[in-house]
Amino acid sequence: MKIKQLFFNILCIMCIVFLSCAKSGKPDYKISENETVTIELQYTAGTGYSWMWINQEDVKHVDSVNVEYNYNTQFIGGAGTMKWQFKGKSKGCDTLTFVYKRPWEDAEIDKKQFVIKVK
Domains of the chain, residue spans:
26-118
- Specify the pLDDT at position 113: 96
Tell me: the pLDDT tens digits for 31-67? 999 999 999 999 887 888 999 999 999 999 999 999 9
* Global pTM exceeds 0.85: no
How far is it, in rounded angstroms, from Cα 17 to Cα 19?
6
- The total of other beta-carbon atoms located within 10 Å of residue 109's CB is 11
Banded pLDDT at 78 (limits 50, 70, 90): confident
CATH number of 26-118: 2.60.40.2020
